[in-house]
Amino acid sequence: MLAKTSKLILKKKHKSKIVCLTAYSKNIAEEIDSYTDLILVGDSLGSVLYNFDTTRKVNLTMMIEHSKSVRKGVKKSLMIVDMPFNTYKNKSQALKNCKKVMKETKCDGIKLEGGKKIIDIVKHLVKFKIPVMGHIGIMPQSVRGKFKYKGKTNTEKNKLLKDSKSLEEAGVFAIVLECIERKLSKEITDSINIPTIGIGSSNFCDGQIMVTDDLLGLTDTKIKFVKKYADLKGSVKNAVKKFKLDVKKGSYPSIKYSY
């Protein structure tokens, strides 16, 4: 049985595009919540906030603490938490850790990276009523070196088609398709009855997700699929420059800002 909230996302397939974004803290979650269907506390926080060279360095405590903060800002969207590397190696470890995350963060579900390899674990979690979101294509927890797109060869293509079908059969409520070739992302989307959420995988997907810090221009990423919708780095610089000038001149704090 899927939780009510995950069912709502499922229903959107073929009806309206699903809007998803990441958040790592309350302030951002609060601002994006009215516009999103799903907010992911992604383990991308490892590279975005902690400057790690891999998401493998993110641990459960970090995910839980950031998620607790995000929870305070999410009122309407579905809140999903990424399970970090090495926290779902087998059925019992996965269930124990997912239950802990669900209980401590009050999230609506979790996300795991992997296809057929993790099917028994997914089935086990679903059996114990944990709403699970899948993630295939580029899987940052397994990637070493440069990120490339997936679906170039027939072998890769068949594997991804099988992975998505297996995940659907195992009971995930949606699947993130990361950097999957355009036509293949359409083929996957058309071949399953659960929503696909693309990141670098074409507008054929049922929804899209982006790292909010990238979208806002808070990172220096040059990844092809990232479209910057704002220049917050520039805004921060300008604001701080003005503050510095005011402090140096002694014009801040003026009487208006004093007791």
Residues near ligand KIV, by CB under 6 A: 22, 40, 42-44, 82, 176, 178, 199, 209, 211
Q: How far apart are CA 248 and CA 245, in angstroms?
A: 5
Candidates 113, 168, 178, 181; catalytic one: 178
| In the complex, minimum distance from the CB of residue 73 to ligand KIV, in angstroms, rounded to a whole number | 17
Residue whose C-alpha is closest to residue 189's, from 200, 174, 179: 174
| In the complex, minimum distance from the CB of residue 45 to ligand KIV, in angstroms, rounded to a whole number | 7
**Contact call for residues 81 and 45 (beta carbons, < 8 A):** no
Considering the complex, state which of residue 69 and residue 252 has its C-beta at the smaller distance from ligand KIV. 69
Q: Is 113 a known active-site residue?
A: no
Residue nearest to ligand KIV (CB): 42
Token reading at 124: 């086990």
Considering the complex, state which of residue 94 and residue 136 has its C-beta at the smaller distance from ligand KIV. 136
- Any idea which residue has 């004093």 for tokens? 258
| In the complex, minimum distance from the CB of residue 111 to ligand KIV, in angstroms, rounded to a whole number | 7
**Contact call for residues 173 and 133 (beta carbons, < 8 A):** yes
Angle at 136 between CA 151 and CA 163, to 5 degrees: 80
Q: Please give, one letter per residue, the 3-state secondary structure of 124-163.
A: HHHHCCCCEEEEEECCCCCCCCCCCCECCCHHHHHHHHHH
Considering the complex, state which of residue 65 and residue 241 has its C-beta at the smaller distance from ligand KIV. 65
| In the complex, minimum distance from the CB of residue 219 to ligand KIV, in angstroms, rounded to a whole number | 12
Considering the complex, state which of residue 146 and residue 249 has its C-beta at the smaller distance from ligand KIV. 146
Q: How far apart are CA 196 and CA 134, in angstroms?
A: 9
Catalytic residues: 178
